[in-house]
Amino acid sequence: MNPVRQIFLDTETTGLSPEAGDRIVEIGCIEMVNRRLTGQSKHFYLNPERKGNEEAIKVHGLTDAFLADKPVFAAVADELIEWLRDAEIIIHNAAFDVGFLNGELKRLKRPMFHTVAGKVTDTLLMAREAFPGKANSLDALCKRLEVDNTHRTLHGALLDAGLLAEVYIRLTRGQDSLVIHEDAGDPAHPKADMAADLSAFDLQLIDPTPEEFAAHEAVLADLDKASKGKTIWRNAVA
């Protein structure tokens, strides 16, 4: 089985519209292979060759002065493309980042981003399907899925790519097994993706104390009263 290579990608930009001439000022990427973060990453600050938008700078903190001596996109394009090539690229709100990457590639007369990536996965669309009607920003998902983002005071491409990796892992964690294997997804362990066989475990049964049993019965009685006698377990016993 070929290894599954996924890359979490995020960008920061001078504004909201590549069509209006806004440019990328930061790219952050983090690699995962077979659902394990490898520790490999790519990170670039870029000179956008234009002034930044004040509102955008408030978001990411990358000033014109800071970016003045950084490389332009053309100088890092080959390195970035080769590192991303054929991988599944995972992005939150992919249309935004891919639009900017295509804008940069178009200026260089290079093939568009879909010819580089093996696949593009949008976690915003995944989150909207999983949590319809709820806020699904990266911050909202971090809170909902208990990913610690307390150190995120400003947006940063590499930082956000790391948070996205944690969100994605939790968002896609299977519910087939009660046991989470350390080697999940590892092709060297052919049973890694199978549901756990719990028959090998000696499960100890502990009877409740009389006080615990009485408290449990009181809770069931309250539920039965609240449902006006329609609780399933009472009907099943009857």
**C-beta separation of 60 from 155 below 8 A:** yes
Query: Could you give the dihedral angle defined by the CA atoms of residues 142, 146, 150 and 151, in that order, rounded to the nearest 10 degrees?
Result: -70
Instruction: Tally Cβ neighbours within 10 Å of residue 140.
Output: 14
Helix or strand or coil: residue 111? coil
Instruction: Tally Cβ neighbours within 10 Å of residue 76.
Output: 17
How far, CA to CA in Å, does 200 sit from each of 45, 118, 154, 169, 183? 53, 40, 49, 28, 19
How far, CA to CA in Å, does 63 sit from each of 19, 51, 75, 96? 22, 9, 20, 21
**C-beta separation of 136 from 124 below 8 A:** yes
134 membership: H or E segment, kind and range: none
155 in active site: yes
Catalytic residue among 60, 155, 189, 216: 155
Of 100, 137, 107, nearest in space to 14 by CA: 100
Instruction: Tally Cβ neighbours within 10 Å of residue 124.
Output: 17
Q: Please list the active-site residues.
A: 155
